[in-house]
Amino acid sequence: MRRTVLVVAIMLGAAASPALAADNGLYIGGSIGGSSLDIRDFDTDLGDLSFSDGDTAYKLFAGFRFLSFLAVEAGYVDFGDPSDTVGTIEGDSIKLDIGLTGWDAFALGILPIGPVDIFVKVGVISWDADIHAALDELIDRDSDSGTDAAWGLGVALRLGSVAIRIEGEQFDVDGADDLYLFSVGATFTF
């Protein structure tokens, strides 16, 4: 009897292990969440001003998982249009709207624990910012761009070829003190 139970347990374990194994290969995904942008004490002709706001953000990406512990991915991210009132001149508010988008690329280190993956990512973002400043009826527009470092961490729950993932990312965008993206999304592995 013990021998039969042992054989059945081994067979069930062998049958379950492919279901728990990571799906390697090409994957696509998307996430939605919130961005947070902080610019503290930027110097202007009006003195030191600060900006702090966030918006709804999304990203679309594709990647390739080489091994159960290593992947690369690249994608497009839209941080939304954060806006904030940064000061006043003679009683009129100065409002800034910053539309921020970018293309990013990451290397991922993955720790697979059963059907759960814990991952860290390190990479770069090539970003573009459209800046709109408004003071009463006066509107000024500017733009900026650059390529800077990015990193993040997250967790994914694998359900076959589909994975649900939650992650936080920080982007070291020049001129910003903090730019974060917190998102929930899904991936599909081919």
DSSP SS3 for 127: strand
114 DSSP assignment = T
Q: What pLDDT, on a 0 to 100 scale, did the predictor assign at position 174? A: 85
Evaluate whether 127 touches 99 at the Cβ level (below 8 Å).
no
What residues are paired with 54 via a beta bridge? 36
Residue 90 burial class via C-beta count within 10 angstroms: exposed 0-12, middle 13-18, buried 19 and up: exposed
Q: What pLDDT, on a 0 to 100 scale, did the predictor assign at position 4? A: 55
Query: Which residue in the block uniquely carries the two structure tokens 């249009």?
Result: 81
pLDDT > 70: percent of the chain: 84
Indicate the average pLDDT of the chain. 85
Model pLDDT for residues 99-122, shown as the tens digit of each residue: 999 999 999 999 999 999 999 999
Q: Indicate if the pLDDT at residue 126 is higher than 60.
A: yes
Q: How far apart are CA 73 and CA 104, in angstroms?
A: 8
β pairing state of 70-78 and 83-89: unpaired
How is residue 189 written in tokens? 């592995």
How is residue 155 written in tokens? 């967790």
Confidence at 17, pLDDT banded by 50, 70, 90: very low
Q: Indicate if the pLDDT at residue 41 is higher than 70.
A: no
Q: How far apart are CA 61 and CA 77, in angstroms?
A: 8
Confidence at 148, pLDDT banded by 50, 70, 90: very high
Q: What pLDDT, on a 0 to 100 scale, did the predictor assign at position 29? A: 98
Q: Indicate if the pLDDT at residue 16 is higher than 50.
A: no
Range among 20-34, 53-67, 136-150 with highest mean pLDDT value: 53-67
The one-letter amino acid code at 70 reads L
Q: Could you tell me which of 76, 79, 80, 78 has the C-alpha nearest to residue 60?
A: 76
Q: Indicate if the pLDDT at residue 78 is higher than 60.
A: yes
Indicate the pTM of the whole model.
0.81
Q: How far apart are CA 166 and CA 184, in angstroms?
A: 5
Q: What pLDDT, on a 0 to 100 scale, did the predictor assign at position 52? A: 82
Model pLDDT for residues 159-187, shown as the tens digit of each residue: 999 999 999 999 998 888 899 999 999 99
